[in-house]
Amino acid sequence: MEIEDIEESQGFTTTTVALITSLSGERVNVMSAEWTIRVSIDPFLISVLVGYQRETYKLISESREFGISYCSADQGELAHIAGNYSLKDTDKFKMGGFQTFNAKYIKAPLIRGCISNFECKVMDEFKMGDHAAFVGEVLNGYYDDEKSPLVFHRGKFFKLGDRIGHK
């Protein structure tokens, strides 16, 4: 049965969950984001939407770079910590025991244990309602084909189910 409700219907999208890392000066942050998307193949571009009031917005604006680490299915707790605490009053890296590794082309760390990680340099920024859309040129990427992604639907984290359709 179809129910008409623009507010409630917003929860019925399903997205991947990413950890956005940023660093400017001595300040380093990790933020969970469900609003990331590849926007070009050649050149390889990924966009991330970040609220203007977030510390991540300030750090990316200052550094003009960011890391994207797409969560694996076993990283729900890390995504929760990164999305529900503020850099202003919490060391999220310490609180969650985040394991990181150094990127080659950006200063922000990348998160270990993810299905994929990308190093991005900001190419452009757009105002998208109450969020900024940063378009990042992907400078380097990593993946683990033994992991499965964490997805977000109706305010909760899920694992992907079985593949359907053609081989």
Residue 152 located in a structural domain: yes
Which run of H or of E encompasses 59?
A: helix 55-63
User: Among 82-86, 90-94, 97-101, which range has the highest average pLDDT?
Assistant: 97-101
Burial class of 89 by CB neighbour count within 10 A (0 to 12, 13 to 18, 19+): exposed
Domain count of the fold of the chain: 1
Provide the CATH number for the domain around residue 74: 2.30.110.10
Q: Which residues of 62-82 are buried (b: 16+ CB within 10 A; e: fewer)?
A: ebebbbbbbbbbebbebbebb
Task: Confirm whether pTM is higher than 0.85.
Answer: yes
Residue 99 located in a structural domain: yes
Residue 126 located in a structural domain: yes
Domain that holds residue 59: 15-159
- CB of 77 closer than 8 Å to CB of 117: no
Average pLDDT over every residue of 119-140: 97
Is the pLDDT at 89 greater than 90? The verdict is no
Residue 7 located in a structural domain: no
Residue 124 located in a structural domain: yes
- Distance, CA of 30 to CA of 28 (rounded, Å): 7
Backbone torsions φ then ψ of 115, nearest 5 degrees: -75, -30
Residue 8 located in a structural domain: no
